[in-house]
């Protein structure tokens, strides 16, 4: 299925509790943004949320 191939399956099980989990979430969102499945605003929101979560995890 082309959409599944574009988005991937990294998200399953990710809870954002670690950098590895955040990487899974980001790997799932990035292709959707690249193929314009999500709006620019949704991708920007994810980018900001991801950066904030990564900062929380580092502290």
Q: Which residue has the higher pLDDT, 6 or 39?
A: 39
The domain total for the chain is 1
pTM score:
0.77
CB 43 within 8 A of CB 29: yes
Residue 9, pLDDT score? 67
Read off the pLDDT of residues 6-36 as tens digits, 9 standing for 90 and up. Answer: 676 667 677 778 999 899 889 888 988 988 8
Q: Which domain holds residue 13?
A: 2-58
């Amino acid at each position: 299925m082309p959409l599944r191939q574009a988005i991937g399956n990294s998200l399953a099980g990710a809870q954002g509790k670690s950098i590895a989990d955040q990487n899974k979430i980001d790997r799932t969102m990035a292709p959707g943004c690249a193929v314009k499945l999500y709006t620019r605003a949704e991708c920007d929101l994810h980018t900001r949320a991801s950066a904030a979560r990564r900062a929380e995890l580092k502290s």
